[in-house]
């Protein structure tokens, strides 16, 4: 008697497999981006100290580094506000499932989670502290912004990727970054005002990095818990394909952020080369001028 082993079912596509492995979308995003997250954290940690005392005497370099990431926050929060207005005015667009997702997205963010207002205040203060040069930095790239804007409007559920990557970064790594910034002291952030904070406890909410703090007595922990609770509805609301889209965009966001750090490195290096070369060029110019003058004097004396 011959027994035939039944064929092994073909595995689902790799990205879909990631979603099927667990029903928890946030865990799946974390798993899919873990290596990227670790690498980005390493890059940021290694560079943050270079923008603070004793390596920097003003917040200029910090501001230049913050601006591109602030633009991403402003970019996706504007798109989110557009979606909210569409839902309020016409109950969204598309089929019933699409409308249901849009209604859910319109109510996903708890009050106080959006960072735009605080970031704008910080950028204004940093411009005062470091000068308009903080905006002389890299941009996000028109092609990237156009592509992401199109994705957010055609697939609004990917706003979850932006929210999870950037808001959770503010709550987790942002706490550590805030502490390092605060440790720089009031005199670094408010050099022209009397230093009221004479205690040894750093001020965690100074102009320039208030976007890392939240209103209320719990410093945003209540807001984070509320956001995670609301996000839980995604498990039954979103389709596998929609969850897959969110994971993919999350990976793309980490990739873009890592590239931003590399582009910032290149810009800072070019600026250092210019600053080093200028004295050399000036010295050489003076030397050439002096030699020319001596030659003229020598000829004059010789006559």
More confident residue, 206 or 296: 206
pLDDT tens column, 260-281: 999 999 998 888 776 654 444 4
Query: What b/e readout covers 155-181, taking b as 16+ CB neighbours within 10 angstroms?
Result: bbbbbbbbbbbbbbbbbebbeebbeeb
**pLDDT recorded at residue 92:** 85
The pLDDT-based confidence of 132 (bands split at 50, 70, 90) is confident
Mean pLDDT of 77-96: 95
What is the rounded CA–CA span in Å between residue 154 and residue 167? 22
SS3 286: helix
The pLDDT-based confidence of 21 (bands split at 50, 70, 90) is very low
Burial (CB < 10 A; 0-12, 13-18, 19+), residue 25, is: buried
pLDDT tens column, 212-253: 999 999 999 999 999 999 999 999 999 999 999 999 999 999
**pLDDT recorded at residue 10:** 45
The pLDDT-based confidence of 194 (bands split at 50, 70, 90) is low
Cα separations in angstroms, 164 against 48, 113, 208, 250, 251: 23, 12, 23, 8, 11
133: CB partners within 8 A, 6+ apart? 60, 64
The residue ranges of every structural domain in the chain are 24-278
**pLDDT recorded at residue 39:** 97
**pLDDT recorded at residue 12:** 44
**pLDDT recorded at residue 297:** 53
Q: What is the mean pLDDT of the chain?
A: 86
- Please give the model's pTM, rounded to 2 decimal places: 0.82
CATH T-level topology, domain 24-278: Heme Oxygenase; Chain A (1.20.910)
More confident residue, 191 or 23: 191
Evaluate if residue 18 carries a pLDDT over 80: no
pLDDT tens column, 64-79: 999 999 999 999 999 9
């Amino acid at each position: 008697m011959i027994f035939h082993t039944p064929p092994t079912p073909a595995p689902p596509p790799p990205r879909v497999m990631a979603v099927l492995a667990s029903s928890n979308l946030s865990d799946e995003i974390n798993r899919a981006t873990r290596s990227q997250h670790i690498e980005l954290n390493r890059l940021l940690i290694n560079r943050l100290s270079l923008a603070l005392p004793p390596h920097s005497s003003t917040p200029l370099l910090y501001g230049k580094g913050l601006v591109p990431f602030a633009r991403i926050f402003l970019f996706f929060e504007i798109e989110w506000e557009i979606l909210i207005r569409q839902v309020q005015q016409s109950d969204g667009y598309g089929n019933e499932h699409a409308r249901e997702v849009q209604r859910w997205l319109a109510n996903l963010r708890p009050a106080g989670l959006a960072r735009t207002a605080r970031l704008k205040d910080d950028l204004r203060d940093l411009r005062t502290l470091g000068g308009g040069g903080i905006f002389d930095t890299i941009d996000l790239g028109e092609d990237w912004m156009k592509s992401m804007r199109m994705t957010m409007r055609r697939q609004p559920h990917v706003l979850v990727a932006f929210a999870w990557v950037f808001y959770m970064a503010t709550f987790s790594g942002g706490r550590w970054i805030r502490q390092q910034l605060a440790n720089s002291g009031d005199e670094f952030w408010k050099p022209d005002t009397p230093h009221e904070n004479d205690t040894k406890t750093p001020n965690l909410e100074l102009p320039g990095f208030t976007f890392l703090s939240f209103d209320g007595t719990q410093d945003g922990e209540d807001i984070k818990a509320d956001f995670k609770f609301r996000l839980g509805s995604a498990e039954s609301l979103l389709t596998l394909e929609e969850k897959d889209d969110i994971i993919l965009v999350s990976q793309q966001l980490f990739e873009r952020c890592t590239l931003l750090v590399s582009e910032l490195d290149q810009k800072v290096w070019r600026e250092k080369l210019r600053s080093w070369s200028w004295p050399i060029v000036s010295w050489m110019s003076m030397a050439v001028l002096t030699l020319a003058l001596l030659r003229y004097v020598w000829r004059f004396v010789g006559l």
